[in-house]
Amino acid sequence: MAKIAVLGYGTVGSGLVEVLERNSAVARKQAGEEVLVKYILDLRDFPGDPYEDRVIHDYNIILNDPEVSVVCEAMGGVGAAYQFTKQALEAGKSVCTSNKELVAKHGAKLLGIAAQKSCNYMFEASVGGGIPIIRAINTSLVTERIEEITGILNGTTNYILTRMEREGADYGQVLKQAQELGYAERNPEADVEGWDTCRKIAILASLVTGKNVDSEKIHTEGITGISGADFAYAEAADMTVKLLASCRFNEDGSVRAMVAPFMISRDHYFAGVNDVFNGILVAGDMVGEVSFGGRGAGKLPTASAVAADVVNCVRSRGRNISCTWKPEEVRLEDPGESERRFFIRASASERGAVEKAFGEGTGFVKLPEGGGEFGFFTPVMKEKDFDEKCSALGAAVLSRIRLA
Ligand code: HSE
The predicted-structure confidence for 42-86, as pLDDT tens digits, reads as follows 999 999 999 999 999 999 999 999 999 999 999 999 999 999 999
Residue 186 confidence (pLDDT) = 86
Q: Is the CB of 127 under 6 A from ligand 1?
A: no
Q: Which atom of ligand 1 is nearest to the CA of 297?
A: 7
Rounded to two decimals, the pTM is: 0.97
Quick one: pLDDT band at residue 92, thresholds 50, 70, 90? very high
Cα-to-centroid distance, 128 and ligand 1 (Å): 8
Distance, in Å, from the CA atom of 250 to the CA atom of 106, rounded to the nearest integer, reads 24
CA angle 378, 226, 193 (to 5 degrees): 115
Q: Dihedrals φ, ψ of 371, to 5°?
A: 55, 40
Give yes or no for residue 362 having a pLDDT over 70: no
User: Which position has the higher pLDDT, 365 or 374?
Assistant: 374
200 is catalytic: yes
Distance, in Å, from the CA atom of 174 to the CA atom of 160, rounded to the nearest integer, reads 6
Residue 195 confidence (pLDDT) = 98
Q: Which of 34-38, 172-176, 264-268, 277-281 has the lowest mean pLDDT?
A: 172-176
> Rounded to an integer, what is the distance from CA 286 to the centroid of its chain?
25
Distance, in Å, from the CA atom of 161 to the CA atom of 152, rounded to the nearest integer, reads 11
CA distances from 186 to 156, 189, 190, 312, 360 (A): 12, 9, 11, 34, 45
347-373 average pLDDT score = 84
Residue 365 confidence (pLDDT) = 80
Cα-to-centroid distance, 36 and ligand 1 (Å): 27
Residue 361 confidence (pLDDT) = 58
Residue 241 confidence (pLDDT) = 98
Distance, in Å, from the CA atom of 108 to the CA atom of 118, rounded to the nearest integer, reads 15
- What is the DSSP secondary structure assignment for residue 334, as one 8-state letter? P
157-169 average pLDDT score = 95
Distance, in Å, from the CA atom of 50 to the CA atom of 35, rounded to the nearest integer, reads 17
Q: Which of 180, 206, 192, 205 is nearest to 154 (CA)?
A: 192
Give yes or no for residue 37 having a pLDDT over 70: yes
How many CB atoms sit inside 10 A of residue 365's CB?
A: 12
- What is the DSSP secondary structure assignment for residue 212, as one 8-state letter? B
